[in-house]
Structure 1
């Protein structure tokens, strides 16, 4: 197959790509069926990848903690105290050694582009080698028992494979973004055995929107991923409902929505505290000036200490512990023990990520939400005696809390609602979950404004808040839009000389420069002629007619920033300078042309979302 080096600013595009044969490329690019077949292949590959990563982390935990085959770490009760304390720190040592190996290979240090950022800014382009690094780091972190989940590695690698495959077929930008969503959907579906959850994870968090054009490939990928993973790895249902009263004690009424709504609001606040806590832990490690390679070792010791003091349930992602808390007969922990477990798990998760371990908060937020729901169920009768949890059992509140807290941290209200439906099979509880997740999502969006992923982007200086495609805005720059053929005039000449050179009927605005060729301002020709007629005797100074002396654009600014500058200055045109220091004029941009091009691009993006021809 021919090799081709595609030039682009994204990490994936800088690599040498293997192209698919021309006929296959034409088939996939020109046929919706071809894209669906490609999505199915990605789903199968994702199911296989998730199963392999699952087995690798489980094998590592079994070796480090002496677990029986198949036993989940967070559900184990007979663990060696020495292993609990030291195994997470050993993971920190392995992570440090892996980081040193990357430095020894002189690998360029850059933050890996995750699926959300790839679809928001890079048109779905990801680096598969960077994704592989994330998988190794996440496997070390989760396998050693620190409080992070594997979902970050699942989605990163599967979306990376999808991105590489899309690039080899030279897909259009919209199809490339859809294919990345297919990889993420298959990864989540394979991890939870929940195809609907995986599909809506892609729609809400990776693609950023739902459309008929993306429905079939994403659902096909999710179904294939789930089927393949189930065939390779035995999956135990998180919720075992073997009788009707496991979820409800009476027929649910409208009154039952009130405690669900309250729990959703409480989980929103807890989610914000957890996200803030990760940032505070990271800041704390920076303040100590501890070498970056040593931070995970110290963090691992802290997590191990918390597990010894509180419970082994704080270790790893929490799959086994969540299963215990979501059993039909409920967990036997009392209120104080549940509170201690929640606080310890939240702190352990913040320390794990803040100290440099690689992983996500997806499953940790599910576990924390379930515990928060149990706390709510046990504590509510103490606050409202006689109400007896309305018609819901502690298991129901655990499911509602699980969905509410995870939507506060991860986002995706429908994703978490479908997760509850696929786990419980209960439509009445799903309705209450929907009430709670909407309350939680809205509260977080209005008070905090970010999910955990977009909060991390914000801390890095990125302005994106979702996977909506805004990368095209960054490429629609002032440099591309401006008119380069712009004449300038010296500000040192007299008004009479200026008017002779620029009579009425000539271009209505003139860019003025000083003696050193630096931008000085803009003079409106009709205004200059009017000023001469209105004055008697000596003509006014040309400098007194200058407008927008300090208002300029630069070629790197995008169309959105330029539009904001036009609104702020109330100008119909602004000069474009090389940079703010030299102020050398290189062009002129009008507001009307900017808005026209911006509207055309918006319409093109809308058509791409709807699957219409562009």
Structure 2
């Protein structure tokens, strides 16, 4: 009896030690708590990648009759009937899922970038599971999309859920989302540095010493967990590379420009397909099936366009292929990817951009070796540079893609050359286009998101939360004499003027009315109203309010309920708006620098 009570007592103490409040306190007071959460995030991410990857491979084996464990896109000969029918069947199944989800959950699904930019790192696990299911249907039935969207969505959502349960601060919650994404990419590519900088550049939007350890630990943990179950990695034989000389940087920079232009065309192509689909009479639930027909027809020409393209990439790097075959495969993959995403298949362009970039690199190498006689770079070297350049142009994250080149080759000289080309591609895209693929899609939806930097607080800092309710009002029909009696000098600075229907008519600056001796007492104050068209609405954020203050050149503006009713609900000063805006900016700065 005593022995049982002893173990029960120990279990209770252990439970208290691991309670949510204690872990939350540990996270707030010590970096050790964040490190432990990083390990947990990495473990979940590694297991998630393993489960999703094996599920997709099982679907490929069952549907396309390829050996289990083999990459679908690595097969150049498949049964034409299956190749044509599988994407269509996947499109029909996905359409049914889309129909059910649209009826069941009407709110939009938030991805990790949007979650960290607008929602303080809050993500839904249920929504993320829906994304994974849709991604598996799309990829499993051969649509030309990768699984990286499912990997990052699930891993980030699980990490976010842990932070929500523990009621972590906004900055810590955003960091956990970054840990989940870092672990997902690291496990998918056997590349912890790539995963870590994917989180820094694309998910959290910043790097600091406080966030370095948990993100890197998560990436390392996820890589080890994934490799324990799936030993194979995304590795390229370093013996295929030649030594780098200074003259090699000129063709590398030109390759960066070439990939930047190709990346912009690819993103425009996806948007064009999506816009055409939206304007058509085809309902959303039927679009994936129609897209599947196009993908199936393209796959009859080359099965290498199916799925993400892992197997096809290795074939491209390992074999000598003619320029016509490379160009045709690139065009087929580009069209298949654009049609797949534009038609509604769930997935992203991460691995597709790597595959197409490798193709571009090999195509470019044929011409570069003729034009630049002093350069002796191999086609494989150009393929690796093209892979990183196009991915940086489309996905963003120049350091992410540079570290990917380092981790898949293990060659520092090639990495330095790749960095120069990647920076060229990234700067060109930002200067001429201004968006990555994710932020371009946000732009098309009307969201002003250029990166994962936390701008959600701006939306929360709304006019209705800052305005005063103790405003003074008067009717536009009163005389100057009556107005001066009701509002003597020194009683208030501004008075809101209303018309006979009680709608906003403008503002009167009280000192100005007293200081002008030419004003007759019997005149109506409607003649002296200012800012008739300048006002604020309750749902405006602090940034929008500051811009209106600047345009109106007024220190105080009325807040109206709507543009139509024009009923006054409050008053807001410019000084208070700017002070609150500056306080929030400083708060975010401290979070980024790790001072909180």
Contact 2:144 2:336 in 1 (8 A): yes
Instruction: Find the residue that maps to 1:534 and give its secondary structure.
Output: coil
Correspondence for 2:355: 367
Does 1:29 pair with 2:28? yes
Instruction: Find the residue that maps to 2:104 and give its secondary structure.
Output: coil
Instruction: Find the residue that maps to 1:79 and give its secondary structure.
Output: coil
Correspondence for 2:505: 520
Correspondence for 1:403: 388
Q: Which moved more, 1:406-415 or 1:108-117?
A: 108-117
Correspondence for 1:44: 43
Pick one of 153, 178, 183 that aligns with 1:181.
178
- Deviation at 1:45? 1.2
Does 1:89 pair with 2:88? yes
- Aligned counterparts of 1:557 and 1:96: Cα–Cα separation in 2: 37
Contact 1:28 1:169 in 2 (8 A): no
Correspondence for 1:113: 110
Instruction: Find the residue that maps to 1:554 and give its secondary structure.
Output: coil
Does 1:132 pair with 2:129? yes
- Aligned counterparts of 1:251 and 1:413: Cα–Cα separation in 2: 21
- Aligned counterparts of 2:587 and 2:147: Cα–Cα separation in 1: 37
Contact 1:119 1:467 in 2 (8 A): yes
Pick one of 133, 138, 148 that aligns with 2:145.
148
Correspondence for 1:609: 592
Aligned CA distance change for structure 1 residues 600 and 286 (closer, same or farther; 3 Å): closer
Matches within 5 A, 1:63-78: 63-78=62-77
- Deviation at 1:431? 1.1
- Aligned counterparts of 2:521 and 2:587: Cα–Cα separation in 1: 55
- Aligned counterparts of 1:389 and 1:68: Cα–Cα separation in 2: 45
Pick one of 565, 581, 599 that aligns with 2:564.
581
Q: Which moved more, 1:601-610 or 1:342-351?
A: 601-610
Contact 1:369 1:398 in 2 (8 A): yes
Correspondence for 2:532: 549
- Aligned counterparts of 2:230 and 2:337: Cα–Cα separation in 1: 26
- Aligned counterparts of 1:501 and 1:284: Cα–Cα separation in 2: 62
Q: Which moved more, 1:41-50 or 1:286-295?
A: 286-295
- Deviation at 1:283? 2.2
Correspondence for 1:348: 336
Correspondence for 1:475: 460
- Aligned counterparts of 2:73 and 2:561: Cα–Cα separation in 1: 58
Does 1:252 pair with 2:245? yes
- Aligned counterparts of 1:389 and 1:80: Cα–Cα separation in 2: 46
Does 1:262 pair with 2:236? no
Aligned CA distance change for structure 1 residues 378 and 442 (closer, same or farther; 3 Å): same
Matches within 5 A, 1:295-444: 295-309=287-301, 311-327=302-318, 331-381=319-369, 384=371, 387-388=372-373, 390-444=375-429
- Deviation at 1:191? 0.2
Aligned CA distance change for structure 1 residues 20 and 324 (closer, same or farther; 3 Å): farther
Contact 1:57 1:143 in 2 (8 A): yes
Instruction: Find the residue that maps to 2:572 and give its secondary structure.
Output: strand
Give TM-score, length-normalised by structure 2: 0.94
Correspondence for 1:13: none
- Aligned counterparts of 1:344 and 1:590: Cα–Cα separation in 2: 58
Contact 1:252 1:428 in 2 (8 A): no
Deviations 1:4-56 (A, max 9, x none): xxxxxxxxxxxxxxx95433333333332112101101101110110011000
- Aligned counterparts of 2:275 and 2:374: Cα–Cα separation in 1: 40
- Aligned counterparts of 2:464 and 2:121: Cα–Cα separation in 1: 24
Correspondence for 1:3: none
Does 1:510 pair with 2:495? yes
- Aligned counterparts of 1:342 and 1:595: Cα–Cα separation in 2: 51
Deviations 1:293-314 (A, max 9, x none): 22111211211111212x2111
- Deviation at 1:381? 4.2
Correspondence for 1:61: 60
Deviations 1:186-242 (A, max 9, x none): 00000000000000000010001001111110000000000000111132334112x
- Aligned counterparts of 1:58 and 1:445: Cα–Cα separation in 2: 36
Correspondence for 1:8: none
Instruction: Find the residue that maps to 2:232 and give its secondary structure.
Output: coil
- Aligned counterparts of 1:205 and 1:286: Cα–Cα separation in 2: 28
Contact 2:476 2:524 in 1 (8 A): no
- Aligned counterparts of 2:222 and 2:429: Cα–Cα separation in 1: 31
Deviations 1:106-138 (A, max 9, x none): 412232110011111111100000000000000
- Aligned counterparts of 2:150 and 2:368: Cα–Cα separation in 1: 38
Correspondence for 2:263: 271
- Aligned counterparts of 2:462 and 2:412: Cα–Cα separation in 1: 49
- Deviation at 1:422? 0.6
- Aligned counterparts of 2:418 and 2:77: Cα–Cα separation in 1: 35
- Aligned counterparts of 2:244 and 2:484: Cα–Cα separation in 1: 86
- Aligned counterparts of 1:584 and 1:114: Cα–Cα separation in 2: 38
Aligned CA distance change for structure 1 residues 251 and 275 (closer, same or farther; 3 Å): closer
- Aligned counterparts of 1:373 and 1:147: Cα–Cα separation in 2: 20
Structure 1 residues without counterparts, runs of 5 or longer: 1-18
Instruction: Find the residue that maps to 1:583 and give its secondary structure.
Output: coil
- Deviation at 1:500? 2.3
Matches within 5 A, 1:555-570: 555-570=538-553
Correspondence for 1:4: none
Correspondence for 1:495: 480
Aligned CA distance change for structure 1 residues 598 and 175 (closer, same or farther; 3 Å): same
Correspondence for 1:284: 276
Aligned CA distance change for structure 1 residues 251 and 404 (closer, same or farther; 3 Å): closer
Pick one of 552, 555, 558 that aligns with 1:572.
555
- Deviation at 1:285? 2.4
Deviations 1:549-605 (A, max 9, x none): 011001111100000101111111111111111111111111111111111111111
Contact 1:238 1:326 in 2 (8 A): no
- Aligned counterparts of 2:27 and 2:573: Cα–Cα separation in 1: 41
Contact 2:459 2:541 in 1 (8 A): yes
